[in-house]
Amino acid sequence: MVKNYPDDSYTLHTDAYQINMIQTYWQKNIHNKNAVFEVFFRNLPFSNGYAIFAGLERAINYIQNLKFSETDIAYLREVAEYPDDFLAYLKDFHFRGTIRAAVEGEVVFNGEPILQVEGPLADCQLVETALLNIINYQTLIATKSARIKAVAGNDGVLEFGTRRAQEFDAAIWGTRAAYIGGFDATSNVRAGKIFGIPISGTHAHSLVQAYRDDYDAFMAYGTTHRNCVFLVDTYDTLKSGVPSAIKVAKELGDKINFMGVRIDSGDMAYISKRVREQLDEAGFTEAKIYASNDLDEKTITNLKMQGAKIDVWGVGTKLITAYDQPALGAVYKMVAIEGGDGKMVDTIKLSNNAEKVSTPGKKQVWRITNKADGKTEGDYIALWDETPQKQESLYMFHQQYTYINKLVTNYNARPILQDIFVGGELVYDQPELDEIREYSRIQLEGLWEEYKRELNPQDYPVDLSQKAYDNKMSIIQEIRNNMNNIK
């Protein structure tokens, strides 16, 4: 049994095979060859029409602190047969690469690079696991959140998921991602403290159980708090919960801000309508109805269709765990490596599955928007040396079904991948979380409704430039020819 070491760095938050490969690169002296890797996901989550990129803040923090601690080295020495001189190399390691990424809150799509790492091979290899870990989860939750916000419209949406999240980190970073995707507030006080996300909360059934009576519980809460949302479904929503809430609100008058009531069970369409009638009749027309209980975009849509009188939606489990699709599946693939002559050589990962064949070469993603209406025409993935922003017209065609094509003129081309680190130095000025959230909202506004509908959205065009396409085809052909020559 290996002894336990203190958890004082994130550098070993990686798969053992990364360190094993780095050892090979180092012993064979190719660890400093320049390489380029790109992150992309193959399919949009939740059958959504877009995804919201999130995770950059944590990724930046991870890269900035990427050093092997004394205990990291001691542990590696104890558990594996790494040579001393390799461990000495790791001890002095610091990240020297360049990272380009979509900014947080950016609308991104399947099949396009959303993050790119360029630099010494060993440096690029070390960061794969942690970057994927961060981006896969946060992008997934930001996307789920945007889906829920889209159906909730102007209603308030509150994040209630901490108790059901996959442990502490998921609760905290999931909450942040949910805020980026459009949620208004969180019940997690620590997330409020560290990110400045507005916190919000009602009370639980235990308060009512403690007093064993709705009226007594609400009165106790009302005389100890100014803002009050009473949970009315502990015993009987319509017979006891709401009448008690109304009684307390009337008796305490201006002493409290009676914000409304929360319902957490039963037929929420029927009950919310009756609750609305009771509140209105009592003169509390401004009091809001909050709802929670295993909600997601489907139940919210359905409740709205039934005319439910719900103003604020509290969503936990199904958001924070990305219940219906728990993984985004983003991958990290090498697209170029320095050859023997010092020139970069494009690399590919082949597969029998066309979807899994990677696109070789260092690339930029260009968002093409129509100058006339500002709406998106599609994304155009070009090789790094291409300049689609300077062309008069752009020939855009589907990556697999090349007969689906269009010629675009009068367009703007905006690069999606921005410099974050250059040569190991952070060059990106991180925006405030509220700016990120607002940025995301504006980007979504620029997307046609057809790509945003919750059910069966249109496929957004993510196209390759002719040059990137031809490059891919010729590399595939070259590999085939080489295979055929193997006796």
Ligand X SMILES: O=P(O)(O)OC[C@H]1O[C@H](OP(=O)(O)OP(=O)(O)O)[C@H](O)[C@@H]1O
Partners of 99 in beta bridges: 117, 421
Binding span for ligand X by CB under 6 A among 279-287, 290-298, 358-366, 376-384 = 290-298
Residue number, 201 or 431, with CB nearest to ligand NIO = 201
Residue number, 11 or 202, with CB nearest to ligand X = 202
Q: Which residues make up the interface to ligand ATP (CB under 6 A)? A: 265-269, 293-295, 299, 302-303, 306
Residue number, 232 or 444, with CB nearest to ligand NIO = 232
Question: CB 149: neighbour CB atoms within 10 A?
Answer: 23
Task: Give the DSSP H/E element, type plus range, for residue 240.
Answer: none
Amino acid at 123: D
- Name the packing angle between helices 70-79 and 84-91 (round to 10°): 160
Residue 315, binding choice from ligand X, ligand ATP, ligand NIO, none, Cβ under 5 to 8 Å by partner class: ligand X
Binding span for ligand X by CB under 6 A among 31-39, 67-75, 286-294, 381-389 = 286-294
Residues 315-354 interacting with ligand X (rule: CB under 6 A): 315-318
Binding span for ligand X by CB under 6 A among 114-122, 282-290, 314-322, 441-449 = 314-322
* φ and ψ at residue 423, rounded to 5 degrees: 55, 40
CB 282 within 8 A of CB 252: no
Strand order in the sheet with 344-346: 344-346, 331-338, 34-40, 115-120, 98-101, 418-422, 425-426
Residue number, 259 or 383, with CB nearest to ligand NIO = 259
Binding span for ligand X by CB under 6 A among 33-41, 279-287, 308-316, 464-472 = 308-316
Q: Shortest distance, CB of residue 141 to ligand ATP, whole angstroms?
A: 19
Residue number, 293 or 347, with CB nearest to ligand ATP = 293
Q: Is 45 in the site for ligand X (CB under 6 A)?
A: no
Question: CB 415: neighbour CB atoms within 10 A?
Answer: 15
Task: Give the DSSP H/E element, type plus range, for residue 105.
Answer: none
* φ and ψ at residue 222, rounded to 5 degrees: -65, -30
Q: Shortest distance, CB of residue 260 to ligand NIO, whole angstroms?
A: 11
Residues 119-178 interacting with ligand X (rule: CB under 6 A): 160, 163-164
Q: Which residues make up the interface to ligand NIO (CB under 6 A)? A: 160, 187, 201-202, 262, 292, 314, 316
Report, in this order, helix, strand and coil percent for the chain, each rounded to 5.
Answer: 40, 20, 40
DSSP character string of 404-448 = SEEEEESEEEEE--EEEEETTEE---PPPHHHHHHHHHHHHHTS-
Q: Shortest distance, CB of residue 319 to ligand NIO, whole angstroms?
A: 12
Which of 20, 32, 23 lies closest to 337, judged by CA?
32
Q: Shortest distance, CB of residue 310 to ligand NIO, whole angstroms?
A: 14
Alpha-carbon span 374 to 411, nearest angstrom? 9
Residue 201, binding choice from ligand ATP, ligand NIO, ligand X, none, Cβ under 5 to 8 Å by partner class: ligand NIO
Alpha-carbon span 225 to 22, nearest angstrom? 58
Residue 202, binding choice from ligand ATP, ligand NIO, ligand X, none, Cβ under 5 to 8 Å by partner class: ligand NIO
Alpha-carbon span 368 to 332, nearest angstrom? 25
Residue 299, binding choice from ligand NIO, ligand ATP, ligand X, none, Cβ under 5 to 8 Å by partner class: ligand ATP
Partners of 100 in beta bridges: 116, 419
| Pairing outcome for strands 405-409 and 411-415 | unpaired
Residue 34, binding choice from ligand X, ligand NIO, ligand ATP, none, Cβ under 5 to 8 Å by partner class: none
CA angle 365, 366, 371 (to 5 degrees): 165
Binding span for ligand X by CB under 6 A among 10-18, 43-51, 151-159, 287-295 = 287-295
Residue number, 160 or 284, with CB nearest to ligand NIO = 160
Q: Is 449 in the site for ligand X (CB under 6 A)?
A: no
Q: Is 295 in the site for ligand X (CB under 6 A)?
A: yes
Residue number, 130 or 268, with CB nearest to ligand ATP = 268
Residue number, 148 or 344, with CB nearest to ligand ATP = 148
Q: Is 294 in the site for ligand X (CB under 6 A)?
A: yes
Alpha-carbon span 251 to 282, nearest angstrom? 12
Which of 324, 442, 461, 481 lies closest to 404, judged by CA?
461
Residue number, 184 or 463, with CB nearest to ligand X = 184
Residue number, 306 or 458, with CB nearest to ligand ATP = 306
Residue nearest to ligand X (CB): 316
Binding span for ligand X by CB under 6 A among 12-20, 134-142, 309-317, 394-402 = 309-317
């590999």: which residue's tokens? Answer: 479
Residue number, 160 or 258, with CB nearest to ligand NIO = 160
Task: Give the DSSP H/E element, type plus range, for residue 215.
Answer: helix 214-222
Residue 230, binding choice from ligand ATP, ligand X, ligand NIO, none, Cβ under 5 to 8 Å by partner class: none
> Which residues make up the interface to ligand X (CB under 6 A)?
160, 163-164, 204, 264, 292-295, 314-318
